Structure 1
Amino acid sequence: MSLKEVGASNPALNDCEDNGTASTVRMDDVDQTLDTSLACYSLAEEYDDILGFSDSITIVSMGGEGPVLVQRQDDGDQESIVPESEIPYSYVHNPPIKFNSMHRNIFIPGLEINVEIVDYERSLTAHILNPNLYTIKFTHGPFSWTIKKRYNHFRNLHQQLTTFRASLNIPFPTKSHKERRTSFRNMHNVHQCTASPTMQMKLEKPNKKRKKSSLPRFPLKPDSLVSFDAIPERKKQLEEYLYNLLNISLYRNQQDTINFLEVSHISFIAALGQKGKECLIKKRTGSTRAGQAGFNCCGCLTAGCCIRCSYFCSDVVWSKWRNRWFFVKETCFGYFRPKDGVLRCVVLFDQGFDISSGMYSTGMRNGLQLATNSRYLVVKHPTRRTAKEWMSYMKKVANDTARDFTMPNPHQSFAPSRPGMQAGWFVDGASYMSAVADALEGATEEIFITDWMLSPEIHMKRPAIDGDYWRLDKILKRKAEQGIKIFVLLFKELDFALGINSYYSKQKLVEQHKNIMVLRHPDHARAGVFFWAHHEKLVVVDQTYAFVGGIDLCYGRWDDYKHRLTDLGSITSSSTCSSANNTTLRKPSTVVELDEGGTVASLMRSTKNIAVVTAVDTVDKGLPVLEAGDKLLMAAAQKLAAAPAPTKSESEELPENIKMDTPEMERRNIMEKLKDMGRDLKNKITLSENDGDLGGKSSASSPGYLSDDERNKKKEEEPAKEPLPAGVMSPAPFKSKVVVELDGQAKFWIGKDYINFIVKDFSNLDMPYVDLVDRSTTIRMPWHDIATVVLGQAARDVARHFIERWNATKLEKCRENVQYPYLLPKSYNDIRIDQAFLDVPMQHVTCQVLRSASSWNCGFIEQDYVEQSIHEAYVQTISKAQHYIYIENQFFISLGMGNPTVKNQVAEYLFKRIMRAHREKKPFRVYVVMPLLPAFEGEVGGATGISLRAITHWNYESICRGKNSLLSRLSTAGIKNPMEYISFHSLRTHSCLNGIPVTELIYVHSKLLIADDKVVICGSANINDRSLLGKRDSEVCVMITDEAFEEGRMNGESYPCGIFAGKLRKYLFKEHLGLLEPAPNRAPVDVTDPVIDSFWNGVWRWTSRKNTRLFDEIFRCIPSDNVHSFVMLNKFLEEKSLAVLDPEGTQKALQRIEGNLVDLPLKFLCNEVLTPPGTSKEGIMPTYMWT
């Protein structure tokens, strides 16, 4: 037999011992291979041994002169390789590789593939030549899967591999070939070691010899000649053939073998769950959505008049069939394009899933029609058998691992209720943003963010003493550089209607790194969506930790329970005007003294010098940490005693790379430095050297301001003080008049972040460090908000919603953009949670993810399909409440049933529940906290306040005005005093600016419902039709039910109080009543029982009325129950308040205000029509835009 006949014109293809060196191919090796092959073939003519090959040989390249082989130098024994247990999830985001490449990473390194033929089916009538259908089970590490093949499939594989083997070139020992082999060997070794930190191959015994592998001997006798008694032997032959074949990496990684095994690069990624089922199929083009493709002939074909004509036109004439690699995972399916390896489709199992086959459904005997709520596919399989197998398998998956999403769930949600979850809550943006920053910092694979508005320059932790380290865009850039993939979905606004500038946010983020991908949606004209918005506020990390609430990562949202009104950033008066929000001085170890005219910038300069001196004098000396609200003691007569400026000789001894005179934030951007200096000049308060009185704004020549040169010169002229030990701050021994009267705070709100929405809405967001308002004359609007974090399977559900929206947006906007991939949901099994990941108190709860979703925002095929599970959860929770309901919401727009304008039923179910309590004569309380005014720019009584008055109209229309309002219906139904069951409140605070008392409403942006200290619904949904009906704004909430309880009380009786819901409610009560900080002159208040009359009337409502009266007397606040018309409003505003007339005299009255709780003024402008006039642009808009 000649060399050509056996296809052995190849290098050293026989199994050989590894001697630890890279060898070139010699003709002696080829002769030896021939002898071995001929001997084997002559001894056993029933077998083909031509595929004998050394596993140490690999391919250099497939291009140019053809494949060139090299024997790897470092290939040791397979057993000496420390095997990996899985392929990292990050491989999902690797650049796509075409399927015929020899360098695809498919299998888990170091793990072999076990083969077992577990069953067979024999049919001599239907398949004469290949009667046996073998069921083959493969095991690869923790993964197992089965395939069904006939003998002809084995033979075809063997022929393809034989052809492949015969095509390999003999690399003659020339210099060029030697260089190519050496270059590839080095490249291959580096690739194997650096592909992933978790995929490195570590050799335990490098000098151990390679174990000789058996030859893959293919049985040549066809199955039709194999007797029934010989079938067990035939099974053993095929098992051994496959096993030995798969132990040769060159064959194992060949495309035909991979297709035979029905595996791909996502098969063995543990985070995606079980391997599932895969194969090469044909997909009809244009079948993404029902009715999208094909010739319709004026609708006659879709009417079903001729099935065959219909499919002839759609399949043959107007459509094409493309090869696609189809896969099914635990909760999704999709396909790749083999020619370039690009993921072309991901479809999530949902309640609309359906699969059908047959002539009527597909026009083919071997076709399948797949449909979900968002996609429609028609695929064609090679045979009817495989089509039936796939249909059966997908139905099994839909009823098993995907059952949570294909079967009906409580509240008609897309996700089920999940017991045994962990959840935590956040009140106000400070703690929320800090936790989000920590979560982002700990991300290892993916980050999902979706917001109504996102500000890249937002500082997540404050004050920003670490420069811009905790700035959002810097965090995302840092993670992107580490290889983390970041996906951001933003609401694309109408530019003329909103000033949130999502285009700037997108450009600012994508320019940071290629791993940050941002999509904006919707394209209004193409989608036909002009009035609705994406309103979700979600952050998901690694599909394991999900933050859900009402807090956007944007300007104006960061706040804490103190709800500060001013932020001059340097010096304020501490003796002229005192406020309930002022904090006391910290202990001396955290007090920092600044030079005359000191600012936050000079503080940073001083701390830099401290760090330098510490580094020189001592080692590991801790520095005091500046926290939110820390006092900065302004000592005009002293300079920083703890860290004297280093002398010239000291400076010379310092390392060259240490800068002592430039603060970190100023060093980063000179323009930012100039802007900050301008604001400091504007806001500076003059320090008088003689008497310490407060003066006007200082200039560069005033005593209160010293330039850097003047300050340094002054330091040189002053006598040197005895320095304290390195790292120790001066305890401020001098108590001069200036020290007592002046104090400062670190700056919390920088640039656009300092905002009052009623005074000035967002504009020019591309200039983030330019103030919107003059903070020396305008107070900010405090922001009250609530959010949650959920872990595990509930977080997977939140991620699933994001993935559904992302994939729908990609399909609509950038289908061909490979840089923006489709996303895959992770498995719901074996979720690994790091308990130390978040420093947040977590509770054991049952959690369900709810949403408002429809065709325009989630890509549903049917325009009429809507999910309003948030609305369903609200009304069911209200209906089932036994003792109380606590609501915090931005709006309260809900009318009785039968109203043609407002459709949601929140008010209807509140009415029914209160009437039931009235009939049963049982106490039942409904707490409602909402903002005093909507956050729309404009004056309440002016021409610019039309939008503000429109929202106010619908709030009052729902609460107390008109026959369909809640209070009016309760009174009509026979309840004399509805306030015994339900009361409406708001929040307001006060402070001082330039020595004058000031006040502002606290904007309640929360979307929260708590019932009976057991159930919490929190998210992004307002109480209005926009959020609750499903077909308008897109929303996400979580419904959390406690599983752990503690002793509580309801109406004076013992009651099991849920830890999650109960602690959240008690914290909110304490914050609103001013109980978070100790007040020695105030009687203790117990917030344990929210139902008992002594708390409802004796504490809650009494405190609210008292605070309302004091605010009205001192500040003459707007809105007010004393103003019933625009005429009264103008007169009311003309009169000066006591706070202006007698600032010092109002201090005692201000101290009587307890907390922030006030009454919502239900009689405000009750004699006016607040709806927009028909001639205004707001009046032209449809009514449903406001509701």
Structure 2
Amino acid sequence: MESVRARNRFQSFARERQGNLVKWYVDAHDYFYAVSELLESATKSILIQDWWLTPELYLRRPPGLNERWRLDRILKRKAEAGIKICVIVYKEVSLNMTLNSAHTKHSLEDLHPSIACMRHPDHFDGDETVLLWVRHKRACIGGLDLCFGRWDTPSHSLADCHISDFTETVWPGQDYNNARVQDFQDVEKWASNQQSRLEVPRMPWHDTHMMLEGPAVLDICQHFVERWNFIYQIKYSKKRTADERYHLLAFPHPLANDQQPHDPQHHNYEPVTHHPHFSSWAQAGRRLGHSRSSSRDYRASGTKENYSGQMNVQVVRSAADWSNGTTTEHSVLNAYIQLIEQAEKFIYIFITTCGSKGHIRNQVGQALANRIIKAARANERFKVVVAIPAIPGFAGNLDSETDSGGTLAIMDWTYKSICRGPNSIFSHVQNAGIDPRPYISFYNLRNFDRINNDPATLADIERRTGISYYQTQAALARIYLGDEASDKELEKNKEVTFKLAQEGESVKKGERDMKARGGETISVKLPESVREAREILRAWSDAAPGYDREVADSIVTQSHPGGLENLPWLGDEESERAAFVTEELYIHTKLMIVDDKKVIMGSANINDRSLVGDRDSEIALVVEDQETISSQMDGQYWPAARFAATLRRRLYREHLGLLQPQSINVPQEDETGTEEDRIVTDPMGEELENLWTRTARVNTASFSKVFRCVPTAGVLNWDDYKRYVPSGPDAPKVCHVAPSAGSLSDVKRELNRIKGHLVEMPLDFLEQDEMYKESASVNPATMLIYT
């Protein structure tokens, strides 16, 4: 395969392919809906490769109105219709993660013999590949796992508390989660929740994904087949009692030699014919949904002549012997570096984690620094905009001596990659005598909301009905389980557990404890039937006429022309002030847009784990749309690629608050060509640059004033941190309004200034102190987990 990669751009196993159709998705609302349609349309086979897959995931919301669109129920229907389903999920290190891939495997395989689920690896490193492939027609690539905690809209609600109409609940059970407070717990008991939605905001999730049709689907399928067969050969082929659901797969390419020319210049040339196992897998492997000899099969698989797409697509990956049974490939890294080097004007890049301890191997930061230096020396305008999570998505206060080690280690290495130390981007640029700040800037995302929980109102309904709020949540769980729930699922969820809301303003007097696990919980027996559960909810609703009808369950899902001051609330000012919450908008997107012309998107982080090839298995697509639209760059006419430009503009509109709130059951409308779209057309234009920087600055100041968020600028050491973050008897609940924010009117007035989600990344945070100390969880032996 080395000879094949040597001929291909980025040294990828896959060549550039023309004639593809690619659609981007921002946030999971529209993508999950599209996946539900894609799975429902499958007629022969479904292949899924995921880091985490939740069988109980609802692909359409609200779940109470979309029971048939739960992932396991869709897969069961398709398996019963004769469709073969192959799934690969990451086998976690059980001491460190709560994915419970064993639950995923057994839940899926118990549905039908036509469903096979493999777990891998059985050692240290893992993979984050997110891949969905339906027959040979369409495939999906990106960062969105089919799992809890991912479904979201561009509004990114933090609240999902409903006092009267529980059918409007959006995130059922553990799908309502804040990883900064606590990770998922016992996910096989998915109907329970160790986080109280009465007071803990969920952590919103920002991500992107792609669905494509065309010739490049063949290469995505090849990647899956290599991985599937590699796992099969090391885990299943030599078992004495072979399970018939496990078997080798053949590549989805035609088999006859005369149909597979070996000449790279031939129009029907396929590099896969050079694969060392091509012939043997063709003979022994099962071809899912394909004919064994027809040349029509190849043409239907996605040649340019059969598709009207105008997009050139190349599949790139990180792969090695341990993951795919191939020699080490790091074409994702090569693609990032080359695209950065070739950038003409502008780069917009999302990063989940970056940097490494000690010697940097992935070189993306170096490539960015070199490109900035080149622009400065040529006296050219050049701009890089980076969006990165404020805090890694792990639980615990930053100042916790027991829980924050891994979080702070990642933050420390990220800051050292950006602006601290000799190997940082800033240092490389400054060593060339250039100020990096006019050329590159860094941002986080954050949101606020109001939880619809007035304790007095809730207590009154409970008194009038004799039903506790937690009994209604158990009834709701029983409805989600449905009449067709298996005995195993009912047994695991026969008793559902919920975190009790805290009394007073602090977790414990004089103590701030971000983790929810230390608080009290309540266990409620599941109603015997769906009918009994509906009667409980009906009794509650009948006793609450007028309650909750005009009060928004989430204030970010609606427009408020009159501002926050006039929003209805059932309780007094004190309870409403206590209902406002904030949380970072977690950036899981792995995406770079170059010059509004080229896009690379996939599963790879900008760190050694994802990019060096011999560690995590990753996959991405490089997309270059040949259809151009009239645009601008730096005040000049610019022929932008439709795919790249519309994606970048859509992201900008969301971050700046230029999108209308999206209903949970309506797809996002195309706003290309609107006034809001015009505003974000030129990413280097003065109008947009001023709007961008002003919005980030104002948002940052308002969030800081109301909530005392961290990280924040000006907190240079741990002493500053202790003075800045409220503590002691007056400490608020985590994510709630700080005592210093003033009255309810003061809070609303300040929050009215916030537009969108964009905030500045505080590059000086804790710069005077060591951010972390080596411990049992963070030390030379565990560094590979984080880098």
Aligning the two structures, in what range does the TM-score lie when normalised by the shorter sequence? Answer: 0.7 to 0.9
**How far 1:562 moved relative to its partner?**
0.4
Alpha-carbon spacing, 1:791–1:1114, altered in 2? closer, same or farther (3 Å): same
Contact 1:947 1:1172 in 2 (8 A): no
Instruction: Look up the match of 1:498.
Output: 97
- For residues 477 and 914 of structure 1, the distance between their equivalents in structure 2, rounded to whole angstroms, comes to 52
Instruction: Look up the match of 1:806.
Output: 228
Could you say what secondary structure the match of 1:980 adopts? coil
Instruction: Look up the match of 2:333.
Output: 871
Matches within 5 A, 1:819-858: 819-827=245-253, 829-831=298-300, 844-858=310-324
- For residues 748 and 25 of structure 2, the distance between their equivalents in structure 1, rounded to whole angstroms, comes to 33
Instruction: Look up the match of 1:793.
Output: 215
Instruction: Look up the match of 1:1146.
Output: 747
**How far 1:1092 moved relative to its partner?**
2.5
Instruction: Look up the match of 1:288.
Output: none
Could you say what secondary structure the match of 1:1062 adopts? helix
Alpha-carbon spacing, 1:874–1:1017, altered in 2? closer, same or farther (3 Å): same
Contact 2:446 2:758 in 1 (8 A): yes
Instruction: Look up the match of 2:636.
Output: 1053
Instruction: Look up the match of 2:138.
Output: 545
Instruction: Look up the match of 1:935.
Output: 393
Contact 2:215 2:302 in 1 (8 A): no
Contact 1:1051 1:1090 in 2 (8 A): yes
**How far 1:900 moved relative to its partner?**
4.7
Instruction: Look up the match of 2:373.
Output: 915
**How far 1:886 moved relative to its partner?**
0.4
**How far 1:1143 moved relative to its partner?**
2.2
Alpha-carbon spacing, 1:870–1:418, altered in 2? closer, same or farther (3 Å): same
Q: Residue 411 of structure 1 aligns to which amino acid in structure 2? A: F
Could you say what secondary structure the match of 1:1149 adopts? helix
Pick 1 or 2: higher relative contact order, CA cutoff 8 A, min separation 6. Answer: 2
**How far 1:1142 moved relative to its partner?**
1.6
- For residues 719 and 651 of structure 2, the distance between their equivalents in structure 1, rounded to whole angstroms, comes to 37
Q: Residue 1153 of structure 1 aligns to which amino acid in structure 2? A: I
Q: Residue 375 of structure 2 aligns to which amino acid in structure 1? A: A
Alpha-carbon spacing, 1:1184–1:1015, altered in 2? closer, same or farther (3 Å): same
Contact 1:792 1:831 in 2 (8 A): no
Matches within 5 A, 1:78-97: none
**How far 1:557 moved relative to its partner?**
0.6
Instruction: Look up the match of 1:1104.
Output: 696
**Considering only aligned residues, what root-mean-square deviation do their CA atoms show, in Å?**
2.3
Contact 1:987 1:1002 in 2 (8 A): yes
**How far 1:1144 moved relative to its partner?**
2.9
Q: Residue 1162 of structure 1 aligns to which amino acid in structure 2? A: L
Could you say what secondary structure the match of 1:987 adopts? strand
String of CA shifts for 1:260-290, please: whole Å, max 9, x gaps: xxxxxxxxxxxxxxxxxxxxxxxxxxxxxxx
Could you say what secondary structure the match of 1:486 adopts? strand
Answer yes or no: is 1:600 the counterpart of 2:69: no
Q: Residue 621 of structure 2 aligns to which amino acid in structure 1? A: V
Contact 1:901 1:1184 in 2 (8 A): no
Instruction: Look up the match of 2:611.
Output: 1028
Contact 1:477 1:512 in 2 (8 A): yes
Instruction: Look up the match of 1:1062.
Output: 645
Could you say what secondary structure the match of 1:1177 adopts? coil
Q: Residue 1068 of structure 1 aligns to which amino acid in structure 2? A: L
Matches within 5 A, 1:245-644: 350-351=1-2, 408-524=7-123, 530=124, 532-568=125-161, 570-571=162-163, 598-601=164-167
Runs of at least 5 residues in structure 1 that lack an aligned partner in the other structure: 1-349, 353-404, 525-529, 572-597, 602-745
Alpha-carbon spacing, 1:1139–1:827, altered in 2? closer, same or farther (3 Å): farther
- For residues 834 and 1113 of structure 1, the distance between their equivalents in structure 2, rounded to whole angstroms, comes to 57
Contact 2:115 2:245 in 1 (8 A): no
Contact 1:1113 1:1138 in 2 (8 A): no
Instruction: Look up the match of 1:591.
Output: none
Matches within 5 A, 1:675-754: 746-754=168-176
**How far 1:964 moved relative to its partner?**
1.7
Instruction: Look up the match of 1:962.
Output: 421
Q: Residue 26 of structure 2 aligns to which amino acid in structure 1? A: V
Alpha-carbon spacing, 1:755–1:1140, altered in 2? closer, same or farther (3 Å): farther
Q: Residue 225 of structure 2 aligns to which amino acid in structure 1? A: I
Could you say what secondary structure the match of 1:766 adopts? helix
**How far 1:407 moved relative to its partner?**
6.6
Could you say what secondary structure the match of 1:457 adopts? coil
Instruction: Look up the match of 1:1132.
Output: 724
Contact 2:114 2:245 in 1 (8 A): no
Instruction: Look up the match of 2:292.
Output: none
Scaled by the length of structure 1, what TM-score is found?
Answer: 0.48
Instruction: Look up the match of 1:780.
Output: 202
Contact 1:998 1:1139 in 2 (8 A): no
Answer yes or no: is 1:887 the counterpart of 2:480: no
- For residues 202 and 5 of structure 2, the distance between their equivalents in structure 1, rounded to whole angstroms, comes to 48
**How far 1:551 moved relative to its partner?**
0.6
Contact 2:44 2:83 in 1 (8 A): yes
Q: Residue 61 of structure 2 aligns to which amino acid in structure 1? A: R
Could you say what secondary structure the match of 2:338 adopts? helix
String of CA shifts for 1:153-192, please: whole Å, max 9, x gaps: xxxxxxxxxxxxxxxxxxxxxxxxxxxxxxxxxxxxxxxx
Instruction: Look up the match of 2:735.
Output: none
Instruction: Look up the match of 1:971.
Output: 430
Q: Residue 869 of structure 1 aligns to which amino acid in structure 2? A: S
- For residues 501 and 536 of structure 1, the distance between their equivalents in structure 2, rounded to whole angstroms, comes to 17
Alpha-carbon spacing, 1:771–1:1140, altered in 2? closer, same or farther (3 Å): farther
**How far 1:795 moved relative to its partner?**
1.1
String of CA shifts for 1:176-211, please: whole Å, max 9, x gaps: xxxxxxxxxxxxxxxxxxxxxxxxxxxxxxxxxxxx
Answer yes or no: is 1:952 the counterpart of 2:411: yes
- For residues 1033 and 438 of structure 1, the distance between their equivalents in structure 2, rounded to whole angstroms, comes to 30
Contact 1:1139 1:1146 in 2 (8 A): no
String of CA shifts for 1:723-755, please: whole Å, max 9, x gaps: xxxxxxxxxxxxxxxxxxxxxxx1111111111
- For residues 610 and 130 of structure 2, the distance between their equivalents in structure 1, rounded to whole angstroms, comes to 13
Contact 2:312 2:623 in 1 (8 A): yes
- For residues 175 and 365 of structure 2, the distance between their equivalents in structure 1, rounded to whole angstroms, comes to 35
Answer yes or no: is 1:1009 the counterpart of 2:592: yes
Contact 2:87 2:118 in 1 (8 A): yes
**How far 1:1085 moved relative to its partner?**
6.7
- For residues 1108 and 1088 of structure 1, the distance between their equivalents in structure 2, rounded to whole angstroms, comes to 24
- For residues 1085 and 1122 of structure 1, the distance between their equivalents in structure 2, rounded to whole angstroms, comes to 35
Instruction: Look up the match of 1:90.
Output: none
- For residues 804 and 900 of structure 1, the distance between their equivalents in structure 2, rounded to whole angstroms, comes to 33
Contact 1:423 1:844 in 2 (8 A): no
Alpha-carbon spacing, 1:406–1:922, altered in 2? closer, same or farther (3 Å): closer
**How far 1:902 moved relative to its partner?**
2.0
Could you say what secondary structure the match of 1:1037 adopts? strand
- For residues 614 and 6 of structure 2, the distance between their equivalents in structure 1, rounded to whole angstroms, comes to 22
Q: Residue 958 of structure 1 aligns to which amino acid in structure 2? A: S
Matches within 5 A, 1:34-183: none
Scaled by the length of structure 2, what TM-score is found?
Answer: 0.72
How many corresponding residue pairs?
A: 591
- For residues 613 and 114 of structure 2, the distance between their equivalents in structure 1, rounded to whole angstroms, comes to 32
String of CA shifts for 1:285-330, please: whole Å, max 9, x gaps: xxxxxxxxxxxxxxxxxxxxxxxxxxxxxxxxxxxxxxxxxxxxxx
- For residues 974 and 900 of structure 1, the distance between their equivalents in structure 2, rounded to whole angstroms, comes to 24
Q: Residue 311 of structure 2 aligns to which amino acid in structure 1? A: V
Could you say what secondary structure the match of 1:507 adopts? helix
Matches within 5 A, 1:1106-1185: 1106-1134=698-726, 1137=738, 1141-1173=742-774, 1175-1185=775-785
Runs of at least 5 residues in structure 2 that lack an aligned partner in the other structure: 255-297, 454-575, 663-674, 732-737
**How far 1:905 moved relative to its partner?**
0.8
Contact 2:703 2:709 in 1 (8 A): yes
- For residues 1184 and 493 of structure 1, the distance between their equivalents in structure 2, rounded to whole angstroms, comes to 15
Alpha-carbon spacing, 1:1083–1:510, altered in 2? closer, same or farther (3 Å): closer
